[in-house]
Amino acid sequence: MIFVKTEREIDLMREPCAIVRDTLAAVGAAVRPGVSTAELDKIAREYIRARGAEPSCLGYCGYPASICASVNGVVVHGIPSEEIVLKEGDIVSIDLCAYKNGFHGDGARTFAVGAIDAEKQKLLRVTEECFWKGIEHLRAGTPLYDIGAAVQAHAEANGFSVVRAYVGHGIGREMHEDPSVPNYGKRGTGVRLRAGTVICVEPMIGAGVRDVCVDADNWTARMADGRPAAHYENTVVVREDGVEILTI
Ligand code: MF3
Ligand code: CO
């Protein structure tokens, strides 16, 4: 069941979403060769709490950290660790949620660690572009799969693949609400989104194959071919005449 938010509920979501935006910036500023993903997790947890929010991921279905930090061939749900130390040429996707005012905000960015090669540069650029393509024509009445169709077309036109195993989602009082928002699909199909629906649009794009394998930790999702992958996500309100992005 898709909950359409009232203006008052959307107003309550602004603060957790702003905290997500600012936490992503704080973590991004700390990304450099030599930093461990556990250190990035600590920065995020302390920052989120200093703003009077809670990191929604911590304890979610047993998840042991406040952020997901996914390096190179890990596409999502990388568990932060003292042993995972970033080095020049890596890319790291940071995905995090904050809970405040009874609502969640959710966002992700992929950062370069120092200088990265041309393929990774293109992957980061195209993945963010996929987000913008996905929301370009989004407004009240848009069929849900128009988002994924636009994301998929842009990724594949650039020789990249769309991860199928993970999708975007509605968000509000719960971190994951209806509807699921795939990054693939057929234009003109799916439920017509109503004004006031709040969703997370989050392309997860691979440089090689689309298939993913999950590690024995039951979280870390790696591209099956080990090629790099990127993730870019924002929490977005569907409006009568377009969208309002809450995490930018
Ligand atoms: N923020 C992620 C999303 O986009 C969820 C992370 S899973 C968690 O849905 F367990 F880490 F919370
Ligand atoms: Co999300």
Q: What is the CATH number of the domain that holds 122?
A: 3.90.230.10
- Whether residue 129 is contained in a domain is answered as yes
106 touches ligand 1 (CB under 6 Å): yes
pLDDT digits (tens, 9 = 90+) for 7-44: 999 999 999 999 999 999 999 999 999 999 999 999 99
Taking CA atoms only, the protein residue closest to ligand 1 atom 12 is 57
How many domains does the chain contain in total? Answer: 1
Taking CA atoms only, the protein residue closest to ligand 1 atom 5 is 57
54 touches ligand 1 (CB under 6 Å): no
**Residues 177/210, Cβ–Cβ less than 8 Å:** no
Helix (H) or strand (E) holding 91: strand 91-100
63 touches ligand 1 (CB under 6 Å): yes
Ligand nearest to the CA of 62: 1
- Whether residue 144 is contained in a domain is answered as yes
- Whether residue 1 is contained in a domain is answered as no
Output the CA 233–ligand 2 centroid distance in Å: 7
**Residues 227/246, Cβ–Cβ less than 8 Å:** no
166 touches ligand 1 (CB under 6 Å): no
pLDDT digits (tens, 9 = 90+) for 135-158: 999 999 999 999 999 999 999 999
- Whether residue 94 is contained in a domain is answered as yes
pTM exceeds 0.95: yes
Output the CA 55–ligand 2 centroid distance in Å: 13
Q: Which residues in the chain show pLDDT less than 70?
A: none
Q: Is the peptide bond before 16 cis (omega within 30 degrees of 0)?
A: no
- Whether residue 147 is contained in a domain is answered as yes
Please name which of 170, 132, 149, 140 lies closest in space to residue 242, comparing C-alpha atoms: 140
- Whether residue 241 is contained in a domain is answered as yes
- Whether residue 50 is contained in a domain is answered as yes
- Whether residue 2 is contained in a domain is answered as no
41 touches ligand 1 (CB under 6 Å): no
Q: What is the extent of the structural domain holding 40?
A: 7-245
